[in-house]
Amino acid sequence: MADTAENSASTSSGRYHMDTELVFIEGDAVKDNYNAASVPIYQTATFKQTNADGSGGEYDYSRSGNPTRTAVETHIAKVMKAHRAFVVSTGMTALDVILRLVKTGQEIIAGDDLYGGTNRLLTYVSQFSGIKVHNVDTTDVSKVEARLDPVKTRLVLLESPTNPLIKIADMRTIAARVHEVCPSALVVVDNTMMSPYLQNTLELGADIEYHSGTKYLSGHHDLMAGVIGCREARVAEQVYFVINANGSGLGPFDCWLLLRGIKTLGIRMEKQQGNAIRIADFLEAQGFKVHYPGLRSNPQYELHKGMSSGPGAVLSFETGDVALSERIVESARLWGISVSFGCVNSIISMPCKMSHASIPAEVRKQRRLPEDLIRLCVGIEHHEDLIGDLTNALTKAGVSVKPFSSS
């Protein structure tokens, strides 16, 4: 499904489709005297120099730079169509680095439906750094505009789709409006849910796109990583300064794991997305309220389609009863109960009790985050097995399942 005009368009090299760019490592990404087929792991903290003043080498200390990290950052920058990309220890580290660009007295506009860890970090900076955070419904452009201040606004932080209600923001319009009203503000997008394979937010007008590399980019939940892509050199220099200063750059072995994972992103995402579409159809046929931009019944279907080349592989649905949701989750067998998403294995969870539990109950209620919400992060298993397992879980939980054909 992702092989559309948007996603099959050539990358900055002007040569290859995205599936090929994910696999193909440019020859100048790393200097290797032995021409290894796999990028070498430079598992070293420091590098020998040739001169007494410490000069003479491209690298000196792995906190500042490492050949393996250079290789994955160069590759990711190509995939993201970024001026420069960086890899750090976790997705939350990526956001922390970005937030260092905000000064005391400045303001951040963020969504009211966003990852629990993001909410936790934004709450921290608002309490201890003198930074005002406005949480608004980013699906309504007018509500973002209402909070724009030409002097104070420094960051506009977006998720699209949001986590966990899978709401869509008009990123193109918001970015244009922010840059018009607040020339010094940065539009930042957490694009983890879509991955660079399905959505390129820098082309939509974002200044910074970041990811939890732990999710789709890695794909196997055996790695913690964060990715930051910058559209312009000026912003990239500021981001690199922070990473070098605080030592948050990703280690060599983890860089190698991330690079390996990126190569299979295309085939994984296609399979996961195909499964998710069938599962969303199944759940909607059962009468549940399903949140997924791949459903034509979704009012934001066309908006999302205009920005992305596919709906992704994360969806959520409401049962109307917390106890029922708990029984469904606990009755599943193939679907592991876990936080996170983007893994080859399918995952089921109740966000209000897990990934978003750090958001106070009264705030969740204010933001209309349903306590009964179930989030499904779809893997690469056979879709009939996944739907069959959900059918068994629903039946055990007391739901009368209607016949459904997934063919």
* Residues 203-253: tens digit of each pLDDT: 999 999 999 999 999 999 999 999 999 999 999 999 999 999 999 999 999
Q: Is residue 303 a contact partner of residue 294, using CB atoms and an 8 Å limit?
A: no
pLDDT-above-70 percentage for the chain: 96
Q: Regarding beta strands 314-318 and 289-291, do their DSSP bridges make them parallel or antiparallel, or are they unpaired? A: antiparallel
User: Is 296 strand, coil or helix?
Assistant: coil
Look at residue 4 in the predicted model and tell me its pLDDT: 40
Question: Is pLDDT at 266 greater than 70 in this prediction?
Answer: yes
**How far is Cα 129 from Cα 104, in angstroms, rounded to an integer?**
6
Tens-place pLDDT, residues 168-195: 999 999 999 999 999 999 999 999 999 9
Structure confidence at residue 9 as a pLDDT band (50, 70, 90): very low
Rounded (to 5) percent helix, strand, coil in the chain: 40, 15, 50
Instruction: Give yes or no: 190 in active site.
Output: yes
Candidate list 78, 81, 177, 215, residue with the active-site label: 215
Tens-place pLDDT, residues 40-54: 999 999 999 989 888
User: How many angstroms separate the Cα of 87 from the Cα of each of 58, 102, 274, 310, 403?
Assistant: 19, 20, 29, 25, 46
Structure confidence at residue 57 as a pLDDT band (50, 70, 90): confident
Instruction: Give yes or no: 296 in active site.
Output: no
**What is the phi/psi pair of residue 266, to 5°?**
-60, -50
Look at residue 176 in the predicted model and tell me its pLDDT: 98
Candidate list 42, 115, 197, 210, residue with the active-site label: 115
Tens-place pLDDT, residues 88-119: 999 999 999 999 999 999 999 999 999 989 99
Tens-place pLDDT, residues 365-378: 888 899 999 999 99
Give the CA angle between residues 152, 154, 159 to the nearest 5°.
130
Q: Lowest-confidence range among 18-27, 28-37, 333-342?
A: 28-37
Question: Model pTM greater than 0.75?
Answer: yes
Could you tell me which residues are beta bridge partners of residue 349? 375
The sign of the dihedral angle between the CA atoms of 330, 333, 336, 341 is: negative
Residue listed under structure tokens 């989030």:
375
Instruction: Give yes or no: 292 in active site.
Output: no
Tens-place pLDDT, residues 127-141: 999 999 999 999 999
Look at residue 6 in the predicted model and tell me its pLDDT: 40
Structure confidence at residue 14 as a pLDDT band (50, 70, 90): low
Could you tell me which residues are beta bridge partners of residue 60? none
Structure confidence at residue 405 as a pLDDT band (50, 70, 90): confident
Question: Is pLDDT at 358 greater than 90 in this prediction?
Answer: no
**What is the phi/psi pair of residue 140, to 5°?**
-110, 105
Candidate list 3, 60, 63, 327, residue with the active-site label: 63
Q: Is residue 128 a contact partner of residue 120, using CB atoms and an 8 Å limit?
A: no
**How far is Cα 40 from Cα 265, in angstroms, rounded to an integer?**
21
Look at residue 367 in the predicted model and tell me its pLDDT: 85
The total of other beta-carbon atoms located within 10 Å of residue 116's CB is 20
Look at residue 291 in the predicted model and tell me its pLDDT: 98
Look at residue 1 in the predicted model and tell me its pLDDT: 46
Look at residue 49 in the predicted model and tell me its pLDDT: 92
Tens-place pLDDT, residues 269-294: 999 999 999 999 999 999 999 999 99
Instruction: Give yes or no: 367 in active site.
Output: no
Q: Is residue 156 a contact partner of residue 185, using CB atoms and an 8 Å limit?
A: yes
- What is the pLDDT of the chain when averaged over all its residues? 94
Question: Is pLDDT at 7 greater than 70 in this prediction?
Answer: no
Candidate list 19, 96, 112, 190, residue with the active-site label: 190
**How far is Cα 70 from Cα 59, in angstroms, rounded to an integer?**
10
Question: Is pLDDT at 55 greater than 90 in this prediction?
Answer: no
**How far is Cα 406 from Cα 273, in angstroms, rounded to an integer?**
14
What letter does residue 366 receive in the DSSP assignment? H
Q: Which long-range contacts (CB under 8 A, 24 or more apart) does 53-60 make?
A: 58/31
Amino acid (one-letter) located at 308: S
Residue that wins the pLDDT comparison between 10 and 222:
222
Could you tell me which residues are beta bridge partners of residue 230? 84, 208
Structure confidence at residue 12 as a pLDDT band (50, 70, 90): very low
Count the alpha carbons within 13 Å of 83 in the hemisphere toward its beta carbon. Answer: 13
